[in-house]
Chains A and B, each alone.
Chain A
Amino acid sequence: MLYREAGDFKTSYRDDSQTFPLKLDRWGYYAALAVAFLVIPFVITDYWANSVLVPFLIYAIAALGLNILTGYAGQVSLGSGGFMAVGAYASYKLATAFPEISILIHVLLAGGITAVVGVLFGLPSLRIKGFYLAVATLAAQFFLVWLFNKVPWFYNYSASGQITVPERSFLGWIITGPQTSASAKYLVCLGFAVLLAWVARNLTRGTVGRTWMAIRDMDIAAEIIGVNPLTAKMTAFAVSSFFIGVAGALLFSVYLGAAEASETFGINKSFLVLFMVIIGGLGSIFGSFAGAAFLVLLPVFLKNVLVGSLGWPTDLAAHLELMIVGALIVFFLIVEPHGLAQLWRVTKEKLRLWPFPH
């Protein structure tokens, strides 16, 4: 057996609490990173970037953000679409107002602005929980989209009501606008995704993560042992909104290039991100990526199979695609309600004993 879990001993708490405690897992992770950064950029085509990898990475960031709020801190949110809009419009306003500053910094700043907005809309969570909080965040979704449509200042009084990203470059590479190459788009999104996944992992393995999970699992007990519910919930809203804001900014500036609030950031987006988190696995970093991959790749895959291989008419395939995706979601939730991440854990546990389970 090449892959084994036994015999990998730790002699310090630092080694014991690292992200990939097994040597082989660690190597696998570094190998995946090396391929992602050093191989894929040279072979990537426009098709792969635009319909598979870039949306996957951007939605993975959004799913990470929502997972922090819903999966780790236990606060349900249906406002992700609205918060992505905040990120997108903030990056647009910043990029047009301060063209001399790198757009990458604007993306991060847009995340910061979204964090503030998120905290504001997260305040009701101190009083209400569960479904009622979901409804309150739904209000954020509708309000924010309405705001960006109604106030022309947000889209710089453009006649179409759309926002269009200006062309910007970083170290001589064009990274936004229609001239952007596939590999540049991909690398920008990959950079943010890897960085933010690392941050998410750091936050969730330490003190902050434990406060969030304590609030999620039993808020009364958490308060009795010294967790301040206000700071715990507000940091969760802030960090989560930061991630979602960055995802929104990237979606607009790097991926789409142009956006319109109700078209791009409608309630559908909120549900899409929520489904990613639920299917991927609540309270799991890997799950956020798995869920994003599932919901981004599955439609592409189905279209290729139905139209490409079976030669079905496009319109019929498009309708069936929706049905199949829906059915698969239901199927997965019945088989494993804790998502793909849990499915992966269970598979590993089973394989550990295979072929002699008793």
Chain B
Amino acid sequence: MMPQTQQAATAAEPYITPDGRKIGGVLMDLRNITLRFGGVTAIKDISFNIREGEIRAIIGPNGAGKSSMMNVMSGFYIPQEGEVWFRGEKRPQMRPYKVARLGLARTFQNIALFDGMSVLDNIMTGRLTMMKSSLLEQALWWGRAEAEENRHREQVEKIIDFLEIQNIRKTPVGRLPYGLKKRVELARALAAEPKLLMLDEPMAGMNVEEKEDMSRFILDVNDEFGTTIALIEHDMGVVMDLSDRVVVMDYGRKIGDGTPDEVRNNQEVIDAYLGVAHD
């Protein structure tokens, strides 16, 4: 197994982007992924990789299999064929909560926040995997329990400041408007300090200003924390501006992979998006 890893790492030499960010080796490598639901093949033999520090977009028309791909990456779907390599190791089949502990966090296309909890509690859940105190310590609020709570609260407050949601920290999430919910969901994912942050349509249903805010946050997260980001988005303007490399999917196949400029000029991609005359 090791030689293959070496090969993958050497194939991707680190480089510096024009705007001065450092792109490292391969963080996640998806090899020949095929996913079927009964007779329907959602993903057909797709391979691509995500490199450390980059913003990697997955685009494609509706039903192309983008969200399924993200579900494979986060361990929610188990592909029938293919391998997921993460940080140089092949990831065995494991439950999603264990995948999360490897350092993957994500947001959902349809917001998946905990409606009954406050914004602060929602973001604190992002750090659950780092909590060490035992049930008894927590029951008696003794030992590590309180210190841990306050220490993680401090980290969470930094994220709250970063995403500018200080004024709603005690509001129940169910009462928030859509745009803010999306931001809280990003905060929860960030609180986990992930190696790879996956955003499934972070800007769906937003107006221009909210999209601008969200784009700024995504760029800042990548820039300040050096977090690798995988992103599904429909707004082409946003995708082309934000991402370093783009994977294009259509009908479960990969039809393009490369920098935004390469993808934009790819004939197959143009056909998929604009339609093509069949004679």
Same complex: yes
Determine whether the beta carbon of A214 is less than 8 Å from that of B125. Answer: yes
**Would A226 and B192 be within 8 Å (CB), given that A211-B128, A221-B108 are in contact?**
yes
Determine whether the beta carbon of A206 is less than 8 Å from that of B138. Answer: yes
Closest to B120 in A: A17
For the complex formed, measure the closest distance between the CB of B186 and the CB atoms of chain A, giving whole angstroms: 13
Encode contact with A along B112-139: 1 for CB under 8 Å, 0 otherwise. 1111110001001110110101010011
Query: Is A127 positioned at the interface, with any CB of B under 8 Å from its CB?
Result: no
Query: Is A358 positioned at the interface, with any CB of B under 8 Å from its CB?
Result: no
Determine whether the beta carbon of B154 is less than 8 Å from that of A202. Answer: no
Determine whether the beta carbon of B96 is less than 8 Å from that of A213. Answer: no
How far, in whole Å, are A187 and B105 apart by their CA atoms in the complex?
49
**Would A216 and B116 be within 8 Å (CB), given that A207-B138, A221-B108 are in contact?**
yes
Query: Is A184 positioned at the interface, with any CB of B under 8 Å from its CB?
Result: no
Which segment, of A27-35, A54-62, A227-235, A264-272, faces chain B?
Answer: A227-235
The answer, among A203, A208, A226, for a CB contact under 8 Å with B129, is A226
Return chain B residues, CB-CB under 8 Å to A227.
Answer: 97, 125, 128
**Would A202 and B141 be within 8 Å (CB), given that A225-B126, A226-B128 are in contact?**
yes
Return chain B residues, CB-CB under 8 Å to A221.
Answer: 108, 112-114
Query: Is B74 positioned at the interface, with any CB of A under 8 Å from its CB?
Result: yes
Query: Is A13 positioned at the interface, with any CB of B under 8 Å from its CB?
Result: yes
Which segment, of B143-151, B239-247, B256-264, faces chain A?
Answer: B143-151
Query: Is A46 positioned at the interface, with any CB of B under 8 Å from its CB?
Result: no
Query: Is A218 positioned at the interface, with any CB of B under 8 Å from its CB?
Result: yes
Return chain B residues, CB-CB under 8 Å to A207.
Answer: 128, 131, 133, 138, 145, 148-149
The answer, among A226, A235, A283, for a CB contact under 8 Å with B101, is A226
Q: Which B152-180 residues have a C-beta within 8 angstroms of A?
A: 153-154, 157
Return chain A residues, CB-CB under 8 Å to B128.
Answer: 207, 210-211, 214, 225-227
For the complex formed, measure the closest distance between the CB of A332 and the CB atoms of chain B, giving whole angstroms: 20
Determine whether the beta carbon of A17 is less than 8 Å from that of B139. Answer: no
How far, in whole Å, are A207 and B146 apart by their CA atoms in the complex?
10
Closest to A207 in B: B131
For the complex formed, measure the closest distance between the CB of A18 and the CB atoms of chain B, giving whole angstroms: 10
Determine whether the beta carbon of B149 is less than 8 Å from that of A226. Answer: no
Determine whether the beta carbon of B135 is less than 8 Å from that of A208. Answer: yes
For the complex formed, measure the closest distance between the CB of A237 and the CB atoms of chain B, giving whole angstroms: 13
Determine whether the beta carbon of A224 is less than 8 Å from that of B150. Answer: no
How far, in whole Å, are A213 and B172 apart by their CA atoms in the complex?
13
Determine whether the beta carbon of B100 is less than 8 Å from that of A224. Answer: yes
Identify which of B114, B121, B189 gathers the most chain A CB atoms within 10 Å of its CB: B114
Query: Is B182 positioned at the interface, with any CB of A under 8 Å from its CB?
Result: no
**Would A202 and B121 be within 8 Å (CB), given that A14-B150, A224-B74, A226-B97 are in contact?**
no
**Would A210 and B101 be within 8 Å (CB), given that A17-B149, A199-B140, A227-B128 are in contact?**
no
Determine whether the beta carbon of A202 is less than 8 Å from that of B140. Answer: yes
How far, in whole Å, are A226 and B129 apart by their CA atoms in the complex?
6
Determine whether the beta carbon of A220 is less than 8 Å from that of B112. Answer: yes
Closest to B131 in A: A207
Return chain A residues, CB-CB under 8 Å to B188.
Answer: 225
For the complex formed, measure the closest distance between the CB of B76 and the CB atoms of chain A, giving whole angstroms: 7
Encode contact with A along B37-79: 1 for CB under 8 Å, 0 otherwise. 0000000000000000000000000000000000000101000
Q: Which A221-253 residues have a C-beta within 8 angstroms of B?
A: 221-229, 235, 239
Return chain B residues, CB-CB under 8 Å to A222.
Answer: 114, 125
Query: Is B254 positioned at the interface, with any CB of A under 8 Å from its CB?
Result: no
Determine whether the beta carbon of B153 is less than 8 Å from that of A225. Answer: no
The answer, among B74, B97, B138, B157, for a CB contact under 8 Å with A202, is B138
User: What are 22 sample pairs from A and B whose C-beta atoms fall under 8 A apart?
Assistant: A14-B146, A14-B150, A17-B149, A202-B138, A202-B145, A206-B145, A207-B131, A207-B149, A213-B117, A214-B125, A217-B117, A218-B112, A221-B108, A221-B112, A221-B113, A221-B114, A222-B114, A225-B97, A225-B129, A225-B188, A225-B189, A239-B135
Which A residues lie at the B interface, using CB under 8 A?
Answer: 12-14, 17, 199, 202-203, 206-208, 210-211, 213-214, 216-218, 220-229, 235, 239, 283
15 more A-B residue pairs beyond the given contacts A211-B128, A218-B115, A221-B112, with a C-beta to C-beta distance below 8 A: A17-B149, A202-B139, A202-B141, A206-B145, A207-B131, A207-B138, A207-B148, A224-B76, A224-B96, A224-B97, A224-B100, A226-B97, A226-B100, A228-B95, A283-B116
The 5 closest A-B CB pairs, nearest first, are A226-B100, A221-B112, A217-B114, A226-B129, A202-B141
